[in-house]
Amino acid sequence: MNKLKGVLLTQGMHGMISQVEGLAKALDIDFTHHTVELNNFWKTVPPKFTPISQSVYKKIDLNDFDIIISCGRKSVIPSIHQKSISKKKVFNIHIQDPKVNYNHFDFIVAPEHDSIKGKNVINTKGAIHYLTNEEIIRNKDYLNSFIKKRPKKNLLINFGWSNKVL
């Protein structure tokens, strides 16, 4: 049986890429990554006020695909639009709160701290990523070399929360 084909849509920021690639790898799909670029006017407009139209974003050349995985505000409308114009049934998943009607997506994967709920919402403890336990174990000596060089109090892991002091 052939693997499902996926399209990953982000703004190109590493934190978003790691989340969409992490989910794609967990689903064991073949995927291509596409960076979304909104047209000038639409860069400042929230997705809930944006039409679902190709006029909102620069054209993305997509071939045959079964799944769209998107992450971030700028990829919301392109994900919904690409699903709506597909000639076949396409499954779309958005990571993080899309800030539009959740029914536009088959699933939304959001960290618990986003406090969103819905029949198609899957909550996670933090951000998903593409690192596997095997990769961490295989590279533990390399990772430990960085930790040992610096005092542990300087190791910061950002789980997506505010940078304010708690």
Nearest-angstrom CA–CA distance, 74 and 53 = 13
Q: Quick one: pLDDT at residue 152?
A: 52
Nearest-angstrom CA–CA distance, 28 and 4 = 8
Predicted model pTM: 0.81
Res. 121 pLDDT band, cuts 50 70 90:
very high
- Residue-range domain boundaries for the chain: 5-131
Q: Quick one: pLDDT at residue 139?
A: 84
Q: Quick one: pLDDT at residue 166?
A: 42
Res. 148 pLDDT band, cuts 50 70 90:
low
Domain 5-131 has CATH 3.10.290: no
